[in-house]
Amino acid sequence: MIRVHEVWEALEAKIPSALQESYDNCGLQVGDSSAVATGVLCCVDVTEAVIQEAIERGANVIIAHHPLLFKGLKRIGTSSYIERCVRLALQHGISIYAAHTSADNAPEGLNYLLARDLGLKQVRVLEPSPNLLVELVTFVPRAHTEAVSAALWEAGAGRLGAYDSCSYRSQGEGTFRALDGAQPFVGQVGTLHREQEDRLSVVLPAYLQSRVEEALLRSHPYETPAYSFVGLQNQDRTTGSGIIGDLPEPLPLRTFLSEVESYFHTRQLRYSVTTKECVSRVALCGGAGAFLWRKARALGADIFITGEAKYNDYFDCEGAPVLVTVGHYESERIASQLFAQVISEKIANFAVYQSELDSNPITVL
C-alpha cells in the first residue's frame, strides 16, 4: 500500500524541492499526504480537464510542472480556474504536487532531458547554482572510519558530479577527558585520554544537512562526537539553470532549426536575425529562460533555445548566440515524461500515467 507522501518523496529523491528558486512554490499544493495513493497522473499544468482525466483513470495524485498555487487564496469559490481546480481536487480526494524550477535546476532534470533528446554531447550546466554545498568535518576513532563514512554516503554526502563515496581523511591524535556523568566509548572518567583518530571530511548539498547529521550521530561511536558544518562558496556544477553542450558535428543553421521545430512540435518557432550559417555549440533552457542568453554567449554558444523571450531580447543578443523561442508550453512538455520516469524507477508496480491532454493556454492559427 503506497501513501501519497511516498509518491512525492520518490520524486523528491531525484528532484528536491529545495532546489527551487526563491519566488517559486514547489511541493504539495492540495491534499492529504497520508492518504493511500491509487495512481499518479503527470502533467505540465493543472486544469479542470486534467483533474477530470485523473478521476477517470482512478489516480488520486497529480504531479504537475507548473504550481497551481503561486499566491495565497482568499477564497475557494468558482471565480477562477485555480479556485475551481482546488474545489474539484478536494471533492474527489486528489492530491496535487508541483515540481517547477526544482525540476529545471536538478541534475538530470528537465533541461538535461532536452539536451539528451537533441543529441548534445559534453553537456554541463549553463549557470551553476551558488552556495548549495557545505562541508562536514568530524573526527572518528580509526577503527570506525569506514562505518561512519558509509553511513554518511548513504545519507547523500560525498557526491561530486559523476562521482560518489568522496571523502578526505587525515590521521592524527585526539584528546579528551570524560567528566562525571559521562559514559565514554573509550577512556576512563576523570583521566585524560589519547585516541588515534581520522579527520573525516565530506561535501554535501546544504538541503541534506539534517539527514547527514542524523546519519553521523547514529553511526558515530562516541557519546558526544565533535563535528562542524561549513558553508562553501563553490558552485555546484551539476545543479542550476540551463544546459550547454555540443552537437556531434556542426550543422547548417536552417537544418538544425528544422530539427528543433520538429522535436518541440511547435508552430511558433522564432529566432533572432543572424549571419551565422552553421551551429555547433547549443545552449537551452525550458520555459522563460531568455535571461540566460548572455551566459550562453560567454560560454561560446552558437544558438540558445528557450520557451519565450521579450521583444528586445531578440535585438539585444544581436544574433550571437542565435536566440530561438519555441513556445513556453512546447519547451516544457517533456516534464510529464520526466516525472513518470522518476516515479516508475522508484516505485515498482504502481500506476503512473502521463496526461494525454494539451493544456497549452496559447492557440496558434
- pLDDT given at position 270: 97
Please report the pLDDT score of residue 46 as a whole number.
98
The dihedral of CA 311, 290, 24, 94: what is its sign? Answer: positive
Per-residue confidence (pLDDT) for residue 299, from 0 to 100: 97
The superfamily CATH assigns to domain 4-99+333-354 is: NIF3 (NGG1p interacting factor 3)-like (3.40.1390.30)
Q: Which fold has domain 107-128+240-327?
A: 3.40.1390
Binding residues: 65-66, 104, 328, 332
Phi, psi for residue 315 in degrees, rounded to 5? -70, -50
pLDDT for the residue numbered 303: 98
Query: Cα separation of 126 and 122, whole Å?
Result: 12
What is residue 72's predicted lDDT score, i.e. its pLDDT? 83
Q: Quick one: pLDDT at residue 38? A: 97
Residues of the binding site for a divalent metal cation: 65-66, 104, 328, 332
Alpha-carbon distance of 131 to 144, in angstroms, equals 31
Ordered by start, the domain boundaries in the chain are 4-99+333-354, 107-128+240-327, 133-231
73-92: pLDDT as tens digits: 889 999 999 999 999 999 99
Q: Which CATH class is domain 133-231?
A: alpha beta
Ranges under pLDDT 70 in the chain: none
Task: Give the pLDDT confidence score for residue 325 in this predicted structure.
Answer: 98
From the list 163, 31, 173, the residue with the least C-alpha distance to 89 is 31
Q: Answer yes or no: same fold for 107-128+240-327 and 133-231.
A: no
pLDDT of residue 51: 98
Strand residues in the chain grouped as ranges (E): 27-30, 40-43, 61-64, 95-98, 121-129, 133-141, 168-177, 192-205, 227-231, 236-252, 270-271, 278-285, 303-306, 322-325, 352-354
Query: DSSP H helical segments within 22-99, as ranges?
Result: 48-57, 81-91
